[in-house]
Amino acid sequence: MIEIINAFARRKNCIIGICDATPLPHRPKHFTPFVSQDIHKRANPSASLQDVKSIIVIGVEPIIPIVDDFPPMPDDAGVLSILGVAKDYHIVVKALLKKLADELQQHTNYKYKILVDSGTLDERALAVRAGLGFIGRSGLVISQKFGSRFNIGLLLTTIPLKPSKQSHTSCQSNCHNCIKACPTGALSATSGIDATRCISYLTQKDNLTPDEAVLIGNHLYGCDICQNVCPHNRPAPTPWVCPKSWLSMNDIDFEKAYSHTAMMWRGTEILRRNARHVARQTHKALPQN
């Protein structure tokens, strides 16, 4: 089984590790607003799949449009995370895990469950347990192959598999690039990440206070600042959009332009709200509706 899994990883250009399904340490301080607040579900794989024995953890690099270069960003532009232009990783990662599950089914009968950004199990903790990488000061899992620029998926199985070796690497002691670069102070060397000040979270939050609206700055969706300055990551383009173009779009236009991306799960109203905040903060007139 291990040979099949490793061959799949090479063939699909992804990273894969295996870990046991014993409960994770209870770490409620690591909860973020979009995940389950149920400690039992968050820490216990058996709450997601009865009789689970092993968890196959996969890491997949985002699929972004092939472009030679992004044009220079104008002053009134709004920034997008790479996930704002990449193919929806929920679809990509789930499809890969389904293919792997089907391959394993050819060799043994077993039960399984696929989880991708489900908000139940702690995916980052399981990725570390499975040897995909280590938790950086950004709070993200950093791998040798992709740095922190990858998405995590879980394949819970009733197959007993030998766990992978865990990584013993860590951030360099003198590197605090992400902490220094974070414009909202969401990262700290002593207390980790404050998700409630993270721009990525704020651009997806249902309701923004006036102070939170200021914190998002010129970000329309997500934030890659901590990843862009991380020495473990390769350089990546900074996608941008003029906010007034979003404000003039109807829902059909939005669907045509962005239905392939993960950001559409938040809905067009939240994206337009962000566009209004960005437009105000860049001192540009809003289009008349």
Q: Token pair of 154, please?
A: 């879980």
- Alpha carbon of 178 to those of 4, 138, 196, 229, 260: distances in Å? 37, 6, 17, 6, 29
Q: Are strands 219-221 and 78-80 parallel, antiparallel or unpaired?
A: parallel
Q: Are 135 and 154 in contact (CB under 8 A)?
A: no
Q: Which residue has the tokens 């709004």?
A: 78
Q: Are 242 and 78 in contact (CB under 8 A)?
A: yes
Q: Are 52 and 158 in contact (CB under 8 A)?
A: yes
Instruction: State the catalytic residue, choosing from 38, 69, 75, 117.
Output: 117
- 69/176 Cα distance (integer angstroms): 29
Q: Are 140 and 148 in contact (CB under 8 A)?
A: yes
Say whether 117 is catalytic. Answer: yes
The set of catalytic residues is 117
